[in-house]
Structure 1
Amino acid sequence: MNARVRLERDGDIAVVVIDNPPVNAGSAAVRGGLLDAMETLRRDHTLRGAVLIGAGPGFIAGADLREFDTPLQEPQLPAVIAAVEGCGKPVVAALHGAALGGGFELALACDARMAAPGTVVGLPEVSLGVIPGAGGTQRLPRIVGIPRAIGMICGAQRMPAAAALDAGLVDAIEPGDLRTAAVAHARAMALAGDRPRLRDRPVPQVETAAVAHAAEAALKAGRGRPAVQAAIDAISAAAHLPIDEGLAAERTLFERLRVSREAAALRHLFFAERDSARHPSLDGTSARAPQRVAVVGAGTMGCGIAITALDAGCDVLLLEQDGAALDRGASRIREHHASRVRSGRLSAADAAGRDARLHASLDWAALGEADVVIEAVFEELAVKQQVFRRVETQARPGAVLASNTSYLDLDAIASATRRPQDVIGLHFFSPAQVMRLVEVVRGRASSPGALATGVALARRMNKLPVVTGNAFGFIGNRVFSAYRRQCEFMLEEGASPLQVDTALQDFGFAMGPFAVADLSGLDIAWRMRQAQAATRDPAARYVHIADRLCEAGRLGCKAGAGYYRYAEGTHTPQADPDVQALIAQCRADKGLAPRSFTNDEIVRRAMLAMMNETALLLADGVARRPADIDVVLANGYGFPRWEGGPVFLARQRVAAALRDDLDWLARCSGPGFVLGDVGRLLAEN
């Protein structure tokens, strides 16, 4: 035993307490302490069984991922699990909080599993680019069968206690004193001489077609990533290999994946997301506890924000100035709750509770009750300033006034009030009730308390907040604009929308930039370009293709035509010869002769454009940490997580080679291109 694991005696039962705050990560010290405890249990004849239990909020939330970037320290988890199974005495896992990854693998090796209500179990390793490496792929199928194990492991599913009981993953749910109940169960098993080891169970037989169907579905959902295929291979081996051979094969696959670049990229994002909301300006600042949230604007975004706040348990005022729009918005929110009830994802009682906390009103005086007011109206500076002038007259002193602007100048919005210290940006991503990311924007006068309250509200909404400075497009839209602009350059030079989109989808984006533009609506970016026209450098390279599409009424999916054409009622893009003709005319107007592109060149230029803009963002102080930019791109813009983000990609390069590549990009891009400082990209957070 050691400081992370202690053995406490309860009569003839050893209670092994894992105490490695904050989440009881399965570090080398924890593994060593558990191995010592199992040796004590084996040797001490006065002990007849044991209970494994976590101190603090949970059992074991998974491995200590910091160890994955170095050679794994001894003892490793398979040795601990072998000691649990070989101790000759019953061991009961008492689960509460999170029992995930290696923590759940340890629990599966125990002779019984008891769970407190609220426990969550699962093997989510695939989401980190690896597979369970301590028996998860071999023991789980012995309970749930091969097809379901493939779905659970490849889907990185987390299962609540009640579902885990139904699946046979836990033996009982204990609503009372978990430790006492687990000790009693271990003692009863010892008296009965009962040691039902999971490794001794046969794998349930199943039709080959069912396994093939589960594997096909998992590969499709997981986009064929290496960890998904490896998990399928390891799980399938459980059906025909002796368990020790299956365990050895699993461990080999795990070790190979652990040192892969993909796993490193996913770990990079894991740590970056964990740290994203921390900001020096918030150190020592107490956040207010927002309970009453007002949303001004009952359109799609306003309703999505309201749904998110209701899901978080907040009281929500939905405010509009048009009665019909208000009725439509309130109905949309209630129908969202009703649809979740119909799908089984929400109980009728919970839906009724959310509906009861929604107050729809045309009375602006009701804003006086709100802790946070979130403006979600049309993306036009004058409109937002008008709203903030009106909000200021009604909001109580100290209330936080937040704009959901996606690219406008927050300081210009705040200038419409006499309390700019209370103004922040809360840039939700659409659909707000689904997308996890929120950019929390710090204006020139934003107080630390207002900013901290915005972060606290985002966290309460189960969002991922990233603090950003106030600059055009903040982090995400600024980098994405540079990416899209480079793709437009390539259109002008000879690529087609379909080739660009296909190349970037093959790289890993869910959609290419031109399909995304059509889905969002080309008029949104058009208005943005029109607003910038007066300040644009007339010598800078400017691509007119998107403007010409908008002038022709091709505004995207909603108009049935944009970069692509769309059959009525569908969002399926189809290449359109009329667009190719329009692009050819734009080239001819500039005297440009088209050339051919490879998909590799398309991806290279698009990624370099992102990296360069990232360097410029960092130089401007818009993002405090390089990794924050990767968090935003991966969670708000579909950047493939297994590639880590533009910062992670840049750090895989030698500095001199990256400088040469950016110099090449500058030559490709022409007048107006600003070269970023590579040192900013490669500096540690």
Structure 2
Amino acid sequence: MSDIKKVNDQISIESVGDVALVCINFPPVNAAGIGVREGLSKAIETLNAEGRVKAIAIYAAGRTFVAGADITEFDKPLMQPSLPETLNTIEASRIPVICVLHGTALGGGLELALAAHGRIALEGTRIGLPEVFLGLLPGAGGTQRLPRLTGMAFALDVALSGRQVYAKEALDQGAIDRIASGDPRDVALSAAQEVVAGTLATRRTCDLDSELDQAAIDGTRAMLKKKQAHLVSPHLIVDAVEQSAGDFDAGLKFESDSFMACLDTPQRAGLIHAFFGERAVSNIAEAKGAPRDIAKIGVIGGGTMGSGIATSCLIAGYTVRLIEVAQEGLDRGMATITKNLEGAVRRSKMSAEARDAALGRLHPALGLDALADVDLVIEAVFEQMEVKKDIFGKLDTICKKGAILASNTSYLDINEIADCTARPGDVIGLHFFSPAHVMRLLEIVQGAKTDADVLATGFALAKKLKKVGVLAQVCDGFIGNRILAHYSKMASYLVLDGASPQEVDTALEEFGFAMGPHKVGDLAGLDIGWMTRKRKAGTRDPRERYAGDLADRICEQGWFGRKTGKGYYLYDDGAAVPPVPNEAVAGFIDAIRAEKGITPKTFSNQEIVDRYMTAMIVEATRVVADGTAKRPVDIDMVFLFGYGFPRFRGGPLHYADTIGAAELVSRIETYAKDDEDYWQVPDLLRKMAADGTSFADLNKEG
């Protein structure tokens, strides 16, 4: 017989003979909020005061153990007991306490388990300390207890990578004591009874020694100095783990102080914004309708984009028809998809069995007629309007009623494409980013006549593909590429006016971009921008400085970047070495400056960053003002997930708020003294400066 008593709405105690089972029931993820903390503290204190039981087992109801902190408490005053206080209460218990883990035990969930006197994980359980993704470090003993169980090298890896570790590895490293199978409650009861019988050993983690691993500490510090010198929390994580070799209480104090120091950093604010923003972009009415059923997807085009899109769809479990016009192109596309899936197996993103099943769902075909029964078609062919209009006109007669017709266009007018069909409501833009099976951004472009359930299907597809779907309205380049076209001009102007491509790249890499704009151009292919400039030549404003002189001259040599071995930089047959500047480019720059009568100036790294980022913010503001993006946060997520914007800065408009609208207006007006056509203050930004409002305020309104 058992007796169950509720401690509060989230915690209950079940007494079974001489053991007690403490159940956490706070769906959906059993987050370590104030109710869980209060209930656990009271349960442990009550059981110790009563002295009736000889062992306590903590487990969780639902699909997971404690998956982390309660995000609804972020940025609110801390309510007592804090998580460290609750965990110290558990660890100090006179009665042995064990935790039974299932699903995930992340962040505070893992720290809870580490504070227990023993840990059992069900098969498939994953543990981790993801606080680094939020600009924080484990603040409830994770940096002090985990090294005592596993050693410093593993603790550093887990805390700095934020990765999720499966139960087998966790057992091998000593983070858990046993792997079991069955229902969490039943395993908890059996384990607690074993503790009473003396067949399952327990011990307090705080009583264990953490041996100083100087090689791991020094090696990690060297790596961080090279790759993450600008970040705060990773360095403090190393310092805290190193402290675990000393007194436990002193280590907890150091960890707590370091956690509080991280809370005050702009990096933490940026990363928190990114965390919530990723979820906010789909929190719109357009994403909440009933989607159409999608099982079979047709992909037109076996090139880089088409193959990547097909790969992503296959990994998500869809059946895919890959369409090409010639056998050679079809064979090449099939080979690329196979290679992509093999890469996923090598990176442990999928099993060999899943790869084989995916390839079994891939059906190549020549000609559009094979798309008659698919539910969704994604066209990914050459970026020319007439080509796309021809394809959509044919799809209109081939595809079944209710099939969605999507274009992967990066710039072109979805409305013009839709008007080539008798079903414009079924037409949508699905702009994937290259490589499509890796990049997480998906711009979902709403045409003037796109049906509501088609939009909802776009968001459902993004979720199934594990991508971040962002709604965009029709304009040249949509959200991301429209803004890119504007600030890319500034990168070119900086070079023409005195900086070198390498100086621009270095300044922006130090700001936090993984690659500067000229390296990105070489990677993407300079011919893409060249083609766009030629397409838009007739619409160019004659008053605005032309920014393509240098890039055009490079492309005229047949140098398109990495694919040709030359661009702004020289590339040594794909060797994994930093590229060296292409000295011929410096000659082109000198010639263009002479032709235009430009006297070169010197720019500091900060001046480069200020001009480049201000240009980005200016066009991003216009995109919000004219409704191309619903909210500033949508633009931030586009740039975090599609353009390599440094995540710790939160996105261009979150970063703009750290500067302030008034300062941005002042900058623009100063820059306009040299180029009044390019530098113009957006009305929205001027209004924000006058009102003292921010882009964060606009997000709240949205």
Assess same fold via TM > 0.5.
yes
Question: Which whole-Å CA distance do the structure 2 matches of 1:416 and 1:674 have between them?
Answer: 37
Deviations 1:155-184 (A, max 9, x none): 111112333233332333333212111122
How is 1:517-556 mapped onto 2 (pairs within 5 angstroms)? 517-543=521-547, 544-556=549-561
Question: Which whole-Å CA distance do the structure 1 matches of 2:433 and 2:19 have between them?
Answer: 52
Aligned: 1:684 with 2:698:
yes
- Equivalent residue, structure 2, for 1:602: 608
Unaligned runs of 5+ in 1: none
Contact 1:262–1:642 under 8 Å retained in 2 = yes
- Equivalent residue, structure 1, for 2:254: 249
Deviations 1:420-459 (A, max 9, x none): 1111111111111111111111111111111111111111
Residue 281 of structure 1 deviates from its aligned partner by 2.8
Query: Normalized against structure 1, the TM-score is what?
Result: 0.95
Aligned: 1:45 with 2:59:
no
User: Higher mean Cα deviation, 122-131 or 657-666?
Assistant: 657-666
The one of 365, 368, 375 equivalent to 2:372 is 368
The one of 330, 336, 343 equivalent to 1:332 is 336
The one of 595, 599, 618 equivalent to 1:593 is 599
Distance 1:342 1:4, change over 3 A: closer
Instruction: Give the secondary-structure state (helix, strand or coil) at the position aligned to 1:589.
Output: helix
Coordinate RMSD, CA, aligned: 2.1
Residue 617 of structure 1 deviates from its aligned partner by 0.4
Contact 2:440–2:468 under 8 Å retained in 1 = yes
User: Higher mean Cα deviation, 434-443 or 328-337?
Assistant: 328-337
Distance 1:140 1:289, change over 3 A: farther
Contact 1:144–1:167 under 8 Å retained in 2 = yes
Question: Which whole-Å CA distance do the structure 2 matches of 1:216 and 1:289 have between them?
Answer: 51
Question: Which whole-Å CA distance do the structure 1 matches of 2:477 and 2:17 have between them?
Answer: 64
Contact 2:118–2:201 under 8 Å retained in 1 = no
Distance 1:368 1:220, change over 3 A: farther
Instruction: Give the secondary-structure state (helix, strand or coil) at the position aligned to 1:683.
Output: helix
- Equivalent residue, structure 2, for 1:564: 569
Distance 1:342 1:499, change over 3 A: closer
Letter of the structure 2 residue corresponding to residue 64 of structure 1: D
Aligned: 1:496 with 2:500:
yes
- Equivalent residue, structure 1, for 2:691: none
Instruction: Give the secondary-structure state (helix, strand or coil) at the position aligned to 1:369.
Output: coil
Question: Which whole-Å CA distance do the structure 2 matches of 1:398 and 1:349 have between them?
Answer: 33
Residue 54 of structure 1 deviates from its aligned partner by 2.6
- Equivalent residue, structure 1, for 2:128: 122
Distance 1:62 1:238, change over 3 A: same
Aligned: 1:202 with 2:209:
yes
The one of 70, 78, 88 equivalent to 1:82 is 88
User: Higher mean Cα deviation, 142-151 or 504-513?
Assistant: 142-151
Residue 199 of structure 1 deviates from its aligned partner by 1.9
Instruction: Give the secondary-structure state (helix, strand or coil) at the position aligned to 1:684.
Output: helix
- Equivalent residue, structure 2, for 1:61: 67
Letter of the structure 2 residue corresponding to residue 466 of structure 1: V
- Equivalent residue, structure 1, for 2:30: 24
Residue 520 of structure 1 deviates from its aligned partner by 1.1
Question: Which whole-Å CA distance do the structure 1 matches of 2:463 and 2:210 have between them?
Answer: 42
Instruction: Give the secondary-structure state (helix, strand or coil) at the position aligned to 2:570.
Output: coil
Residue 59 of structure 1 deviates from its aligned partner by 1.6
Aligned: 1:135 with 2:141:
yes
Residue 401 of structure 1 deviates from its aligned partner by 1.3
How is 1:256-295 mapped onto 2 (pairs within 5 angstroms)? 256-283=261-288, 285-295=289-299
- Equivalent residue, structure 2, for 1:351: 355
Letter of the structure 2 residue corresponding to residue 608 of structure 1: T
- Equivalent residue, structure 2, for 1:448: 452
Contact 1:16–1:52 under 8 Å retained in 2 = yes
Query: Normalized against structure 2, the TM-score is what?
Result: 0.93
User: Higher mean Cα deviation, 375-384 or 542-551?
Assistant: 542-551
Distance 1:177 1:55, change over 3 A: closer
Question: Which whole-Å CA distance do the structure 2 matches of 1:292 and 1:565 have between them?
Answer: 43
Contact 1:292–1:372 under 8 Å retained in 2 = yes
User: Higher mean Cα deviation, 419-428 or 261-270?
Assistant: 419-428
Distance 1:342 1:67, change over 3 A: closer
- Equivalent residue, structure 2, for 1:473: 477
- Equivalent residue, structure 2, for 1:159: 165
Question: Which whole-Å CA distance do the structure 1 matches of 2:183 and 2:98 have between them?
Answer: 15
Instruction: Give the secondary-structure state (helix, strand or coil) at the position aligned to 1:638.
Output: coil
Question: Which whole-Å CA distance do the structure 2 matches of 1:175 and 1:666 have between them?
Answer: 68
Question: Which whole-Å CA distance do the structure 1 matches of 2:339 and 2:563 have between them?
Answer: 23
Contact 1:154–1:228 under 8 Å retained in 2 = yes
Deviations 1:120-174 (A, max 9, x none): 2100111111110111111111222111211111111111233323333233333
Count residues with an aligned counterpart: 682
- Equivalent residue, structure 2, for 1:73: 79
Residue 36 of structure 1 deviates from its aligned partner by 1.5
Question: Which whole-Å CA distance do the structure 1 matches of 2:293 and 2:63 have between them?
Answer: 22
Contact 1:263–1:642 under 8 Å retained in 2 = yes
Instruction: Give the secondary-structure state (helix, strand or coil) at the position aligned to 2:105.
Output: strand
Residue 343 of structure 1 deviates from its aligned partner by 6.0
Distance 1:222 1:149, change over 3 A: farther
User: Higher mean Cα deviation, 325-334 or 359-368?
Assistant: 359-368
Residue 657 of structure 1 deviates from its aligned partner by 2.1
Residue 414 of structure 1 deviates from its aligned partner by 1.6
Residue 273 of structure 1 deviates from its aligned partner by 0.4
Letter of the structure 1 residue corresponding to residue 496 of structure 2: E
Letter of the structure 1 residue corresponding to residue 503 of structure 2: Q
Distance 1:138 1:452, change over 3 A: same
- Equivalent residue, structure 2, for 1:314: 318
Question: Which whole-Å CA distance do the structure 1 matches of 2:287 and 2:130 have between them?
Answer: 32
- Equivalent residue, structure 2, for 1:14: 20
The one of 457, 460, 464 equivalent to 2:468 is 464
Unaligned runs of 5+ in 2: 1-6, 689-693
Residue 218 of structure 1 deviates from its aligned partner by 5.1
Distance 1:249 1:681, change over 3 A: closer
Question: Which whole-Å CA distance do the structure 2 matches of 1:144 and 1:573 have between them?
Answer: 40
Instruction: Give the secondary-structure state (helix, strand or coil) at the position aligned to 2:580.
Output: coil
User: Higher mean Cα deviation, 20-29 or 80-89?
Assistant: 20-29
Residue 568 of structure 1 deviates from its aligned partner by 4.1
Residue 253 of structure 1 deviates from its aligned partner by 0.7
